[in-house]
Structure 1
């Protein structure tokens, strides 16, 4: 094991090579330490006999992640799935070897699964949309009737991928068939009452529990959601202190080094949709003027050298 205090820390970025947020974070770390390694978890192998996490990022023949000082997980996979948890589990080997993983693996695991995140938020008394979880088709139909409009959400997804909007006025037979199809891919159905949004929702950015800023995602068309994937755009917003305090409380149970909290303002008061396992850099920069990559790099170095 190398002496981790004899020279600038070596911090790798786990992400998606070529993607802007991954590369800009690697750039920020390289500018501060002279070291650059972008790691695709699909290319990482765990050798239990050696206690090594082996990969070959650009510029290296072979790199053992357990020999590093730190690893920042910007993105563990392109889309969330149960395999995301498997990839996170591999990083426990690095943690056990003394490598500082940002954010801690246990913290990220608690947010990748939508149900686990929801239960933690509910336990912390954070206001959320009315939520119903079931494996029963009949119970799901009853929930749609009761809610009027309902959003069915996969337990593992981001940016509204795989989500389904249903209305109680839909043809009953077609409604049942649609729910059955959804359940074939999502045996445990996560159902929320559709919330009427004022054309936007908010992303609140936190680093080490400290508030950095807030951006809005603004709906640009007739989509029911505001995600950038559905045509939304980022915009600046200045939330009031009470809203910031809500975001602070929502992220607190998860012990994340970097995260965003998705909040919507409704006629009945603000609600929290979710806390992100990884958090977005582009919204922070374009909407809030926050260079999250630079802040995160400085934060990681401070944590490793203090």
Structure 2
């Protein structure tokens, strides 16, 4: 046990949040789960209050989940946490790192600037340009800028015909004025989650589709399986996560006929996939990592 006080920003009652809180309590004897929906920022007094607890008085805060759903309000919640960070509270991972990830486009641009291979991507507000991109790609996945587990994504194919395709794009644009679309790649119903702690590789699990769905997410019927990637794939994932300087993350990688590609780097990482697919107790390891960093 230590005298360190580390709070968990997450969703009370959710498995990953409570599992991390359990692991931290085992390490420190202190337990605090914070729902950002209940937090009040008092800038006059430089206080960030969660009930009777001033988060600015804690030693650390770990962000397991900033919101139930990915949306632009996540950015506002991260800005609030910057006040605690400014007061000397160590945030795992730093707010600046997460701010560069929760928006899909921001993550993509950073990866592209680092020379990381990704699916062919088009970002536009023009329906005509989006239509031309689908025709060029043959088939494309339209993705909201704020989403996880393929929520809100739509697969569109050039074979639909110009009129039907334009209608589909118009409907997507009504909900997503800035359209982000990527060429659909053949993954043989499998993609990888590659786990990193403090920038060091821990292991890999696969998400394997069990249905005829075009994506492999657990939300759409996929399941976790163990997987041992080649060293070149590990090296690629390590390069992909490095620019973000995260304490814990999962890199989503696809294996194609033309070589491995990266889809995204997770702002928060996945505990369940690591545990069920790779036998990695990420919560316990992460808790130890935080205590180690705060003791330095």
Normalising by the residue count of structure 2, what TM-score does the alignment of the two structures yield?
Answer: 0.99
Q: Distance in 2 between matches of 1:137 and 1:124?
A: 29
Counterpart in 1 of 2:91? 101
Which whole-Å deviations, capped at 9, do the CAs of 1:129-160 have from their partners, x for residues lacking one? 00011100011110111111000000110000
Cα offset, 1:185, TM superposition: 1.3
Cα offset, 1:20, TM superposition: 0.5
What pairs with 1:6-85 in structure 2 (closer than 5 Å)? 8-56=3-51, 62-85=52-75
Which whole-Å deviations, capped at 9, do the CAs of 1:2-43 have from their partners, x for residues lacking one? xxxxx6110000000000000000000111111000000000
Matched, 1:200 2:195: no
Counterpart in 1 of 2:112? 122
Q: Distance in 1 between matches of 2:204 and 2:69?
A: 24
Counterpart in 2 of 1:188? 178
Which whole-Å deviations, capped at 9, do the CAs of 1:28-72 have from their partners, x for residues lacking one? 01111110000000000101111000012xxxxx00000000000
Counterpart in 2 of 1:4? none
SS at match of 1:54: strand
Counterpart in 2 of 1:134? 124
Q: Distance in 2 between matches of 1:232 and 1:42?
A: 31
Matched, 1:246 2:241: no
Q: Distance in 2 between matches of 1:91 and 1:72?
A: 11
Matched, 1:236 2:231: no
SS at match of 1:159: coil
SS at match of 2:101: helix
Q: Distance in 1 between matches of 2:3 and 2:74?
A: 30
Matched, 1:210 2:205: no
Which whole-Å deviations, capped at 9, do the CAs of 1:190-216 have from their partners, x for residues lacking one? 010011111110000001101111000
SS at match of 2:100: helix
SS at match of 2:122: strand
Unaligned runs of 5+ in 1: 1-6, 57-61
Number of paired residues? 295
SS at match of 1:129: coil
Unaligned runs of 5+ in 2: none
Q: Distance in 2 between matches of 1:226 and 1:298?
A: 31
Q: Distance in 2 between matches of 1:72 and 1:47?
A: 21
* Shift >4 Å, 4+ stretches: none
Which whole-Å deviations, capped at 9, do the CAs of 1:210-269 have from their partners, x for residues lacking one? 111100000000000000000000000011111100000000000100000000000010
